[in-house]
Amino acid sequence: MKFKKYISVIVLIFVTSFTFSQVKFEAKVSKKKLGINERLRVDFEMNQDGDNFNPPNFSGFAVIGGPNQSVSNSWINGVRSYKKTYSYFLSPKKRGNFTIDQATIVVDGETYKTTPIKIAVTAAIDKPKDPNDPDYIASETIHLVAEVSKSNPYLNEAITVVYKLYVSPNTGVTNWNEIDSPRYNDFWSQTIDTKGQKVENGTYDGEDYRFLVLRKAVLYPQKTGKLNIEPLSLDIAVQVPTNRRDIFGGRMMTTVHKTVSAGNKSINVKALPEAGKPIDFTGAVGDFSFNVTTSKTALNASESLQAKVEVRGKGNLKLFNLPKIALPSSLEVYEPEHAENVRTNLSGMQGSISDTYTVVPQYKGKYPIPKISFSYFDLKTKTYKRLSSNEIVIDVLEGPLNNAIETGEETSTGNAKQRVVLNNDQFAFIKTKTSLASVKQNHFFKTPIFWSALLLPFLVIPLAIVIRKKKATRDADVFGNRMRKADKLAKKYLSNAKKSLGKKEAFYIALEKALHNYLKAKLQIETSDLSKDKIQVLLTEKGVDADAVKDFNSILESCELARYTPITIVTMQEDYNKAAQTISLIDKQAR
Amino acid sequence: MKNIIYILAFLFSTVVIAQNSALFEKGNTLYNEGEYAEAIDAYSNILETENHSAEVYFNLANAHYKLNNIAPSIYYYEKALQLEPNDADIKNNLSFAKNMTVDAIDMLPETGFSKLIKKITYAFTFDGWAKLAIAFVFLFVILFLTYYFSYSTVKKRLAFIASNGSLLLMVVSLILAFNKYGLDKNDKPAIVFSQESKVKSEPNKRSEESFRLHEGTKVQVLDTVKNWKKIKLSDGKTGWISADDIKAL
């Protein structure tokens, strides 16, 4: 019995090894990510018939179709292939991530399981896509992409746009033609030839694709701000695989016409910085070298030479003007010949541009070609740079002399004396001295100071008139004048006495001293011979009234008396007044 | 504290003055070597410190002239002339710069009397006329008082006549000061900076084109509406020009 069993097993192994080597049981889904309003198809495939197929419970999904069973048997070159499929159509119940669990089957007593599959259910999509619709397949598998090298370039900085057509490996493109070519408004543009491009392999969105470069363009923005790059639109004939198969089992392809366009790209063009912009800047952006050369530096008059102004390098070579060369007016200069030797590739314009001037000197002499400068914006350092040429001196060896022609003398007398003539029509040289003043000015006109200086002097006139009138009236008042004079004299001599008014001793000493002082001043006498009699005689000689003399003496007496008698302040005041009056009276009468 | 501020202010101002004169010298050297663009930079730096002089403007204009920048050179010559109206060099070089301009504009002829008045008015600035008026006031007051206080008939007579004369002169110079002030207030010259500018009949883009002006032409600004300026040429033509095309002096 046991022997029999072994034999049968061996036979079985022999038989099965002829047909297949390994049992395969796997689950396949039509997509791993779907909208909630889409359907999902799950196939469980096995390459050997089994029993007890046990589907998973499809949690999160509703089974809307299936299980559909299909069996296919084929012999190719004597090799049999067998396939049995259980298909289910599922509809998701809600959004989220779900797992399709393992299905089991028993083949020859062995239990096989599929691997679980993760499915993501997203929000409803606009139009549930029929995965078999050729248009849908074409739109999923053909992509036209415009790649812009830089989205915020400077004005006149080169950018490139590359249009690539991505085609998925299981579709094919038979033909394409442009419907709408982009016009690069506000750009200087040059398309680069892409004929003979080979199909390359690349990835798009992480998947393997083939791509073809359709078009390359170099653009130089000519305007600042937001600029639009118009899309490129193509009509493409796409071959899409269908579900039908030809009699050989190959998939039938259908051709679909599809319009694809690369999206509108907008780039933001920055203006060149204003700070430090040189005055001779003409818009050159890039990296340049600059030189001025002449074909010869020594020649004879009426021979010609070429002066070449050349800018070489990388940048917007065709888009700016070369600086003009300023030659002395006695050289005959012809209009320059402009030459461009510029190649354009993906990195921009490269090469050189030049202006060639033909110069014919007329007279003997040395002629300097002045330095000229050329400024450009360097993109690497983001600054302006200025290049200056070297000064070149052209030496004209033989020829007529310039001044000889002007003065009408013969050319042979090269060292003839020349008259110095002042040329009035000359461009004046700069001034070498300056005194700077603030830009803000203060005006004098219409200020309060101006008005007061204008009007106040008028007030001086009435003031002067009033003062004069007052003076006249004072001069006319005789009595008042006398009073004022007496006061003045009293003030002069009696000031000490007045100060000590009230103190008896001091007052009378001061008063006596004052009277003596007055007499000394008036009569020119010494104090020593100052007796009462003498005073009387002298005063009478001077023509003073007898009463006044008497008064004077009486005051002197009272001064002496006062030292020994008690005297009230009232008497002192009286004596003071009397002294003042007497002095003024004597003063008036004395001659 | 206050003193320190004054000292600092003084030191700072002297530093600025020293820098500016160094810049001026540098500009002159560069100009003489023919490096006009660099010279312009040096002169412009002086102007950025809010200091100016007729000479700085003149040299700046010369450098622009050498670089064939028509509008800037005329602009700075006019600036220099505003500060030094009677400088022969400036007038000479301005005429050189004007040779580069395209527009030929006639001067509107003026009749004899108004020409005379204008000539007299432009002899001084309004500040000058104001100061002159004040001088005449003082003269008048002194002479009048001399007349009033002097006793001899001859002296009195002379002083009276002289004082009345100076009063009259004072009034005249005051009137001229007001006249000049008014003229200066209305005098808003500008220079056309754009290569070619269309002058419209109305301050908008759709209106008809009156005439065209080219770089370097001097115009008088009469009025402003938004971004448009009403201008008058020296031959009396008026029109509206975009404010970006001109630069006021």
pLDDT digits (tens, 9 = 90+) for A225-238: 888 888 888 888 88
Across chain A, mean pLDDT equals 79
**At a CB cut-off of 8 Å and minimum separation 6, what does B167 contact?**
B136, B140
- Please give the full DSSP string across chain B, using - where no structure is assigned: -HHHHHHHHHHHHHHHHHHHHHHHHHHHHHHHTT-HHHHHHHHHHHHHTTEE-HHHHHHHHHHHHHTT-HHHHHHHHHHHHHH-TT-HHHHHHHHHHHTT-----PPPP--HHHHHHHHHHTTS-HHHHHHHHHHHHHHHHHHHHHHHH--SHHHHHHHHHHHHHHHHHHHHHHHHHHHHHHHHHH--EEEE-SSEEEEESSSSSSSPEEEEEETT-EEEEEEEETTEEEEE-TTS-EEEEEGGGEEE-
State yes or no: pLDDT of A423 exceeds 80: no
Q: Which of A370, A443, A457 sits opposite B127 (nearest CB)?
A: A443
Q: Do A279 and B56 touch (CB under 8 A)?
A: no
pLDDT digits (tens, 9 = 90+) for A24-78: 888 888 778 877 777 788 888 888 877 788 888 888 888 887 788 888 888 888 8
Q: What is the DSSP letter of A317?
A: G
Best of A388, A442, A445 to substitute, by most chain B Cβ atoms within 10 angstroms, is A445
CA nearest to A333, candidates A353, A357, A355, A314? A357
Report percent pLDDT > 90 for chain A.
1
In Å, how far is A478's CA from the nearest CA of chain B?
23
- In order of A356, A381, A529, A538, B174, the CA distances from A533 in angstroms are 130, 119, 10, 9, 77
Q: Which two tokens stand for residue A167?
A: 């085609």
Mean pLDDT split into 10-residue runs, chain B, 249 residues: 64 70 88 88 87 89 85 90 85 80 74 84 85 90 86 87 91 90 86 86 85 85 88 87 87
Which phi and psi (to 5°) does residue A403 adopt? -70, -30
CA nearest to A495, candidates A477, A517, A476, A480? A517
SS3 assignment, position A543? coil
SS3 assignment, position A584? helix
- Which pLDDT belongs to residue B75? 92
- Which pLDDT belongs to residue A401? 62
Q: Do B67 and A280 touch (CB under 8 A)?
A: yes
Q: Do B55 and A370 touch (CB under 8 A)?
A: no
Amino acid in the structure at residue A229: I
- In order of A300, A353, A365, the CA distances from A334 in angstroms are 18, 18, 20
CA nearest A443 in B: which residue? B127
Q: Which residues of chain A have a CB within 8 Å of the CB of B93?
A: 427-428
Q: What is the DSSP letter of A566?
A: -
In Å, how far is B216's CA from the nearest CA of chain A?
17
- Which pLDDT belongs to residue B12? 60
Q: Which residues of chain B have a CB within 8 Å of the CB of A278?
A: 37, 41
Q: Which residues of chain B have a CB within 8 Å of the CB of A437?
A: 51-53
Q: Do A444 and B55 touch (CB under 8 A)?
A: no
Candidate from A271-280, A400-409, A418-427, B188-197 with smallest mean pLDDT: A400-409
In Å, how far is A471's CA from the nearest CA of chain B?
13
pLDDT digits (tens, 9 = 90+) for A290-325: 988 888 888 888 888 888 899 999 888 888 888 888
State yes or no: pLDDT of A129 exceeds 70: no
Buried b (16+ CB within 10 A) or exposed e, A39-55: bbbbbbbbbbebeebeb
Q: Which residues of chain B have a CB within 8 Å of the CB of A430?
A: 28, 31-32, 55, 58-59, 62-63
pLDDT digits (tens, 9 = 90+) for A322-366: 888 877 666 788 888 898 888 888 778 889 999 998 988 877 777
Strands A265-269 and A225-229: antiparallel
Chain A positions with Cβ closer than 8 Å to B: 278-280, 324, 370-371, 373, 375, 386, 388, 391, 426-440, 443-446, 450, 453-454, 457-458, 460-461, 464-465, 468
State yes or no: pLDDT of A404 exceeds 80: no
Q: Which residue has the higher pLDDT, B231 or A122?
A: B231
Q: Where are the alpha helices (DSSP H) in A333-447?
A: 402-407
Q: Which two tokens stand for residue B42?
A: 């040096």
Strands A348-361 and A305-315: antiparallel
CB neighbours of residue A319 within 10 Å: 17
Size of interface A-B (CB pairs under 8 A): 110
Report percent pLDDT > 70 for chain A.
87
Are residues A506 and A574 in contact, defined by beta-carbon separation less than 8 angstroms? no
Q: Which residues of chain B have a CB within 8 Å of the CB of A467?
A: none
Query: Backbone dihedral region of B50: left (phi > 0), alpha (psi from -120 to 50 degrees) or beta?
Result: left
CA nearest B66 in A: which residue? A326
The span from the CA of A431 to the CA of B89, in Å, is: 9
Q: How many alpha carbons lie under 13 Å from residue A256 in its C-beta half-sphere?
A: 22
Q: What is the mean pLDDT of residues A156-175?
A: 84
Q: Which two tokens stand for residue A77?
A: 């070159």
Query: Backbone dihedral region of A109: left (phi > 0), alpha (psi from -120 to 50 degrees) or beta?
Result: left
pLDDT band at A411 (very low <50, low <70, confident <90, very high): very low
- In order of A84, B147, B148, B165, the CA distances from B152 in angstroms are 151, 9, 11, 20
Q: Any bridge partners for residue A239, and if so which?
A: A172, A255
CA nearest A445 in B: which residue? B127
State yes or no: pLDDT of A545 exceeds 70: yes
Taking every pair of C-alpha atoms in chain B, what is the biggest distance, in angstroms? Answer: 79
Best of B15, B70, B141 to substitute, by most chain A Cβ atoms within 10 angstroms, is B141
Are residues A89 and A41 in contact, defined by beta-carbon separation less than 8 angstroms? yes
pLDDT band at A422 (very low <50, low <70, confident <90, very high): low
Q: Do B55 and A427 touch (CB under 8 A)?
A: no
In Å, how far is B120's CA from the nearest CA of chain A?
18
- Which pLDDT belongs to residue A301? 82
Q: Do B51 and A460 touch (CB under 8 A)?
A: no
Q: Which of B58, B130, B141 sits opposite A450 (nearest CB)?
A: B130
Q: What is the mean pLDDT of residues A233-258?
A: 79
Q: Which of A370, A439, A454 sits opposite B51 (nearest CB)?
A: A439
Q: Do B46 and A436 touch (CB under 8 A)?
A: yes
Query: Backbone dihedral region of A17: left (phi > 0), alpha (psi from -120 to 50 degrees) or beta?
Result: alpha
* Global confidence as pTM: 0.41
Q: Which residues of chain B have a CB within 8 Å of the CB of A429?
A: 62
Q: Which residue has the higher pLDDT, A516 or A268?
A: A268
Are residues B155 and B209 in contact, defined by beta-carbon separation less than 8 angstroms? no
Q: Do A454 and B126 touch (CB under 8 A)?
A: no
Q: Do A431 and B89 touch (CB under 8 A)?
A: yes
- Which pLDDT belongs to residue B108? 74
Are residues A257 and A341 in contact, defined by beta-carbon separation less than 8 angstroms? no
- Which pLDDT belongs to residue A409? 39
Residue recorded with tokens 């992409």: A145
Query: Backbone dihedral region of A131: left (phi > 0), alpha (psi from -120 to 50 degrees) or beta?
Result: alpha
Q: Do B50 and A438 touch (CB under 8 A)?
A: yes
CA nearest B179 in A: which residue? A445
Buried b (16+ CB within 10 A) or exposed e, A272-291: beeeeebbbbeebbbbbebe
Which phi and psi (to 5°) does residue A476 adopt? -75, -25
State yes or no: pLDDT of A530 exceeds 70: no
- Please give the full DSSP string across A287-304, using - where no structure is assigned: EEEEEEEES-SEE-TT--
Amino acid in the structure at residue B108: L
Residue recorded with tokens 């599929």: A114
The span from the CA of A69 to the CA of B226, in Å, is: 83
CA nearest to A59, candidates A102, A13, A9? A102
Q: Any bridge partners for residue A26, and if so which?
A: A45
pLDDT digits (tens, 9 = 90+) for A464-506: 889 888 888 887 777 677 667 666 766 766 777 777 777 777 7
Question: What is the CA A569 to chain-centroid distance, rounded?
Answer: 96
Q: Any bridge partners for residue A235, and if so which?
A: A177, A259
Are residues B89 and A428 in contact, defined by beta-carbon separation less than 8 angstroms? yes
Q: Which residues of chain B have a CB within 8 Å of the CB of A464?
A: 145, 148-149
The span from the CA of B91 to the CA of B97, in Å, is: 10
Q: Which residues of chain B have a CB within 8 Å of the CB of A454?
A: 133-134, 137, 174
In Å, how far is A277's CA from the nearest CA of chain B?
10
H/E segment holding residue A368: strand A365-369
Amino acid in the structure at residue B66: K
CB neighbours of residue A127 within 10 Å: 8
